[in-house]
Structures are given as structure tokens and as C-alpha cells.
Structure 1
Amino acid sequence: MDGFDFRAALHRGLAIPAHPLALNAARQLDERRQRALSRYYIAAGAGGLAVGVHTTQFAIRHAKVGLFEPVLSLAKEEMDRASHPLVRIAGVCGETRQAITEAELIRGLGYHAGLLSLAAMKHAAPDELIAHCRAVAEVIPVIGFYLQGSVGGGVLSHAFWQRFAEIENVVAIKIAPFNRYQTLDVVRAVMEVGRDDIALYTGNDDNIVADLLTPYRIAGKERRLVGGLLGHWSVWTKCAVALLERCRNAEVTPDLLRLGVEVTDSNAVLFDAANDFRGCIAGLHEVLRRQGLLEGIWCLDEGEGLSRHQREEIDRVCAAYPHLNDDDFVATHRDDWLKP
């Protein structure tokens, strides 16, 4: 929408789900259900969408799959129809040539920023990494991404994050190492550089509530993680939006700490933490399948699916924490979202 300041919106703090990929039994794009997912997130009150990211499956970029641009275009069309403006984020992956090509594509589609994965360059020297980030930032505003090692990320030092925060066109950082020490490295680096204009977002799906509640005070200044850009928030999204509002500048209470444990327990099951996250995408798909938003849990990789006992564990957390789901909301509106 004209006049929408996406940087200001990021700083206010948003619930941004990482958008899954809807496939049919032939493992081809199910356009109707792909659109339904976008409509669901928008109706649930999400402040933005992150498309073409890990939860969307990186394999959409493969030449034989060819779904990167089609999937981004579908989400764009649904965001264009939304009654409220959304921050439009698309994943940017690969080595520098590929990353620049993707950045140019998403800019052309009207996305506001690229979520920059460095997984393909995790063995690169620090100078090479920074040069890569600068090159992408010359094309489109960049959201940094500290991706956990279990799904392809590498260790990024405090010194790296200081240099990264000095790149002018960095607008936010998704902090998702699933590690408290490394989370602190990022926050401290940004504060030390003095970049108050870089919005900090949790991607630590294992620590969502605590991340949103925790003030970081360093050298007399204070920063908070103002929102979440999360794969976990691709399910039960209406409740996720309410959770963010509840945590915003809230007093820390035993009830909130208990809620944080419940969210983490649920995430451990949905992301299949017990099996090194092998079923992390299929677990999210299973929730969406149960709600009728997806037809099945198919992934592009035929080897990806639920791990042994993961379905039973999903049964357990659904029964234990019914206040975390938005099943009634989805049931009320699903048929409308699924209309062509």
C-alpha cells in the first residue's frame, strides 16, 4: 500500500509466520491451498509474511522444481488483496551470484526485504561473508539470519555481527541459533555498533516467550526482541498474534513463564527436536492438515515426513495445551479461504 513504512512496522514488532508450501499428492504446487494459507495468516492478524524461506522448503529453487517465483507471486497477490498492509519478506539463499539474482527477483515482485541465509557460505572467511552481505544489501534491504546449525546454519561470531550491523541497508535481524550465548552475541553486537534502527526478531522457536519478555541492558542502553519471524508461527497463528501482544512490555509472571514452557514443549514436537529436526516441516504440515488447510503433509523431498512417534506426540501437545491452537477460528473461515 502507498505510504506504508515497512521499517517502522518492523520496529513496532510483528508476528510474521514463515510460509509453508502446499503440495498435492503428486508433490506439485496446490495453488488453491497455497493461497488459502496466505489468507489464513492475513486473517489471523499477521503483520507480514516470510516466503521462500526454510519452512517453504529451499528446494523450490531447484531448476527441476521451479517454484520459487510462482510461490512468491501467489503470496504477493494475496498480500495485495489484504485490507491491511503487510511487511513482505522473501528468502535469499545461495552464493553471491545466486543471492543477487534472487534479491533482484524479489525486489521486482515488490517485496520489502530479503531474509539472507548464509548457509551456503558457512565455510567462507569473514571478509567474504561481509562482502556477500554488502552485495545483496545493494539490491534490497536485508534482514540478517542467524540459522541454527541443525538445519544448515553455521556459527557466526560476535565480531561478524558487529560488521554486519554496520551495513547501512540492514533493517532487521532474525536471531535463530537456538542458543542463548549466540543470541546474546547478536544483540550485544547491534547495541555496541549503535544501530537502534535495526529491528531484532526472535527466530528461536525453542524460546519464543522468554525472548519476547527479556530486556537486554548493556552500557546503560536497553533493547528488546520486538517480534517473531518463526516457522512455529505458521501454525496456530491467531494465537501467536495474541501471544505477541500479551508479551509486549508485559510484567514477567509465573503464568507467562509457564506459557513459555508450554510453547516450547509444543515446538519440540512440531519441529521434531528429538530426531535432530528431521520432521520439522512435516510436523507443521500435519497441524495444517488436521485443520483442513492442507490436503496432506507431502514435501518436495520424498524422504521427508513425520518421524516415528511424532504423530502421537502431536496428539499429546494438542490435548495438553488446547489454549495454544486456533482450530475454531480456522474451522469458521477455512471454506472461504479455500475458495478459488
Structure 2
Amino acid sequence: MALHRTDLPPEILRLFRQGVAIPAHPLALNAERQFDRRRQRALSRYYIDAGAGGLAVGVHTTQFEIRDVGLYRPVLEAAMEDSRAWTDRPLVMVAGLAGRTQQAVNEARTALSLGYHAGLLSLAAMKGSSTEEILAHCRSVAQEIPLVGFYLQPAVGGVSLGADFWRAFCAIDNVIAVKVAPFNRYRTLDVIRGLVEARAEERVTLYTGNDDHIVLDLVTPFTVKRDGEPVTVRFQGGLLGHWSVWTRGAVQMLEKLKAAVAAGPLSPEILALDSAVTDCNAAFFDVANDFHGCIAGCHEILRRQGLLEGTWCLNPQEGLSPGQSEAIDRICRLYPELSDDAFVAGNLERWLS
């Protein structure tokens, strides 16, 4: 049975609209690269206790390869089961959707059957298709589930999309948000321009996925002219692989940034935070090696904290790059105030129980 955004629980719509921290949920594996159910549960408990406003599961950080090994439904089911068992607090539950149209539609139906509220639609499989073909794909999936658009950076498989695409996408009635993650200011502005031109800013909420500019995305007013008048929109929250680590600090940072924007004007301290967070991301996401170790880098932080047993990925070719561990050492040494090591240490045994 299809789900329209107006059918979502009011508290979920409110959370979506106000903007929350949504970590992209990693996949816990053991040394045999098999699903580690216990540590997967511990991760969900960690994110919930850290104050995350929701979970994004089956997305890039969860590894798209889960679909190839029969783990898509089990991983989505685990996160839903574990979150419901751990808290009564409403959480925005977002399922990653991938593949060509029939696959994405089937994944949307799977997500709905498990109780997910929205689908984050990856368009990587549509590379080479025309704009109209991609839009037809999006409209088909939107008939099943409320959509969160996903501008994935081309370096990890995303498709370059212009303002005309985003105007048409945001005009789709069942779109409720866009995760903007091209890691490119020009392309970020294309999304914002498309959103405003579609007159959808009251319905579609912007979430940053730009790990290279998290702080500036969240504090910047973006103004676009429409009919000769300025229209200002803002990023309200983040849906980020970067926030799968040091999540307690990320939640606190989002609260701090929202308060700073409300109080205004912004202090130099707030603005300087952007470069510190970006420096952290360069190590976590392995920018020096064109993002090859972006998933393993997040795993490494979680391994050091004891939440994961190792950095294994489903693809044996994915792992930490040469020098990446040393880059993470430097980040941990320079920015202890951004980490949540003490928070994790104080709760780890309970999460793993």
C-alpha cells in the first residue's frame, strides 16, 4: 500500500520540517564479512542515545552491496526493530532506495512494509539516462513512498543534475526533502534554485550531505530571486555519513548552530568551526585518495571506540587507504572536543548487551 506525505504521523512531519540530525547507518560485519547482528543493534542504540532525530538505513554508508548479498531487508528490519525496542521517542526512519525503476519501487514497498517513513532515492543506476527518463523514474517511486531527493557526489557514483532537473523534481507532490551532497557549491546552488523555482520551499526541506561544508550549509541563508523578489531558504538538518561517527557531538553541534542562527549575528567561533569539521571529514572520508576509504574511515572511528570489531566492508577491495589511519590519528589529537569518546565509553557495555 502506497504512502503519501500527508499520511505521515504529524510528529514525524514536524521533525522532518524542523530539521534533525540523521546519521547514515553503517553495516556491522565480522571478520568473515558476515552480518554482525549484535553490533548492528549496538550502533542503532548509540545513535538513538546520542540524540539523533532519525536513522538512514540502506544508504551509501550502509554499503549499496547489501542488495547483492540478500541483506537489504534484514538490515532495514534490524534498524526498525532495534529502534522500536530501545525508545518510544519518534524517529524519522529513512530507507535508501537504489537501482533502476522496478528495483527502487520494490525497495520502497519493502521499506513501507517495515514502517519506514521516506525513501532516500539514489540515482546512480540512472547514469546515462536522459533528464526526462530520470524524472519518470523518480515519479514512479514517489507513487509508493515520500521521497528524499539525493544529490550524490559524482566521485562516488552520483549523477550531475542541473537546476532544471531539481525544479521538476521538487515539483513532485510526494517529495518532502532533498539531501544535497554534491560536495560542490555550484551544484548545491542548482538544487536551491530549482527548489525555489518550483515554489516548493514550504513543502521540501533541505538537508545537508555536503560533508565538506556541513557548518556553513547549516548557518547560511541562501537567497534566490523569484518573480523579482528575494526568497531565502536554509538547510534545516543533516543526513550524513560523517554523522555516523562522533554522533553525540554532531547532535550538539546542530543544536548549537540552530541557536546561533536564531540569536545572530554569527560569531567568528561558529564560522571557524566549519574548517575544523571539514578537516575531520577529510580524514574520515579519505579525500587524499578520492574517497576510496570513505566507508572504512567511518568504520575505523567506530572500531577505535569499540562499537565495531573491525573496518571490514562487503567489498574486499574497500578498506583504509595508505596513510588514512595516520590522518585519523591527527584528527583525534587535534579535535578531541568534537569527539564523543567519553560518551561511548560510558555506554558501550549497555549497547552491546
Contact 1:22 1:294 in 2 (8 A): yes
- Of 67, 73, 84, 1:80 maps to 84
Separation in structure 1 between the aligned mates of residue 24 and residue 239 of structure 2, nearest angstrom = 7
Does 2:129 correspond to 1:115?
no
Partner of residue 221, structure 1: 231
What secondary structure sits across from 2:177 in the alignment? strand
Contact 2:119 2:148 in 1 (8 A): yes
What secondary structure sits across from 2:28 in the alignment? coil
Deviation of 1:7 (Å)? 2.1
- Of 263, 272, 277, 1:263 maps to 277
What secondary structure sits across from 2:207 in the alignment? strand
Contact 2:183 2:210 in 1 (8 A): yes
Does 2:51 correspond to 1:45?
yes
Separation in structure 1 between the aligned mates of residue 122 and residue 217 of structure 2, nearest angstrom = 21
Q: What aligned pairs does 1:86-97 form with structure 2 within 5 A after superposition?
A: 86-97=91-102
Deviation of 1:83 (Å)? 2.8
Q: What aligned pairs does 1:169-184 form with structure 2 within 5 A after superposition?
A: 169-184=174-189
- Of 267, 286, 297, 2:311 maps to 297
Partner of residue 109, structure 2: 104
Deviation of 1:173 (Å)? 0.2
Q: Which moved more, 1:277-286 or 1:192-201?
A: 192-201
Partner of residue 297, structure 2: 283
Q: What aligned pairs does 1:115-264 form with structure 2 within 5 A after superposition?
A: 115-195=120-200, 196-218=202-224, 219-248=229-258, 249-250=261-262, 251=264, 252-264=266-278
Deviation of 1:188 (Å)? 1.4
Q: Which moved more, 1:192-201 or 1:44-53?
A: 192-201
Deviation of 1:5 (Å)? 3.1
Contact 2:205 2:235 in 1 (8 A): yes
Partner of residue 71, structure 2: 67
For residues 153-178 of structure 1, give each alpha carbon's deviation from its aligned partner in whole angstroms, at most 9, with x where no partner exists: 01001100000011000000000000
Separation in structure 1 between the aligned mates of residue 267 and residue 241 of structure 2, nearest angstrom = 26
Separation in structure 2 between the aligned mates of residue 330 and residue 208 of structure 1, nearest angstrom = 23
Paired AA for residue 239 in structure 1: G
Separation in structure 2 between the aligned mates of residue 197 and residue 42 of structure 1, nearest angstrom = 26
Contact 1:13 1:226 in 2 (8 A): yes
Deviation of 1:217 (Å)? 1.8
Separation in structure 1 between the aligned mates of residue 156 and residue 290 of structure 2, nearest angstrom = 8
What secondary structure sits across from 1:24 in the alignment? coil
Contact 1:207 1:264 in 2 (8 A): yes
What secondary structure sits across from 2:281 in the alignment? helix
Deviation of 1:191 (Å)? 1.1
User: How many percent identity over aligned positions?
Assistant: 59
Contact 1:172 1:199 in 2 (8 A): yes
Separation in structure 1 between the aligned mates of residue 285 and residue 58 of structure 2, nearest angstrom = 18
Partner of residue 326, structure 2: 312
Q: Which moved more, 1:6-15 or 1:330-339?
A: 6-15
Separation in structure 2 between the aligned mates of residue 118 and residue 242 of structure 1, nearest angstrom = 31
What secondary structure sits across from 1:75 in the alignment? helix
Partner of residue 3, structure 2: none
Separation in structure 1 between the aligned mates of residue 199 and residue 254 of structure 2, nearest angstrom = 26
Deviation of 1:259 (Å)? 1.1
- Of 25, 30, 36, 2:36 maps to 30
Separation in structure 2 between the aligned mates of residue 220 and residue 154 of structure 1, nearest angstrom = 29
The normalised TM-score by structure 1 is 0.97
Deviation of 1:193 (Å)? 1.3
Separation in structure 1 between the aligned mates of residue 197 and residue 170 of structure 2, nearest angstrom = 9
What secondary structure sits across from 1:220 in the alignment? strand
Paired AA for residue 76 in structure 1: M
Separation in structure 2 between the aligned mates of residue 305 and residue 167 of structure 1, nearest angstrom = 38
Contact 2:289 2:321 in 1 (8 A): yes
Q: How many residue pairs get matched?
A: 336
Paired AA for residue 204 in structure 1: N
Separation in structure 1 between the aligned mates of residue 162 and residue 14 of structure 2, nearest angstrom = 28
Contact 2:11 2:90 in 1 (8 A): no
What secondary structure sits across from 1:84 in the alignment? coil
For residues 22-66 of structure 1, give each alpha carbon's deviation from its aligned partner in whole angstroms, at most 9, with x where no partner exists: 00000000000000000000000000000000000000000xx11
Contact 1:4 1:85 in 2 (8 A): no
What secondary structure sits across from 1:5 in the alignment? helix
Deviation of 1:93 (Å)? 0.2
Contact 2:21 2:239 in 1 (8 A): yes
For residues 133-167 of structure 1, give each alpha carbon's deviation from its aligned partner in whole angstroms, at most 9, with x where no partner exists: 00000000000000001100010011000000110
- Of 13, 17, 21, 1:15 maps to 21
The normalised TM-score by structure 2 is 0.94
> Which stretches in structure 1 are left out of the alignment for 5+ residues?
none
Give the CA RMSD over aligned residues: 1.0
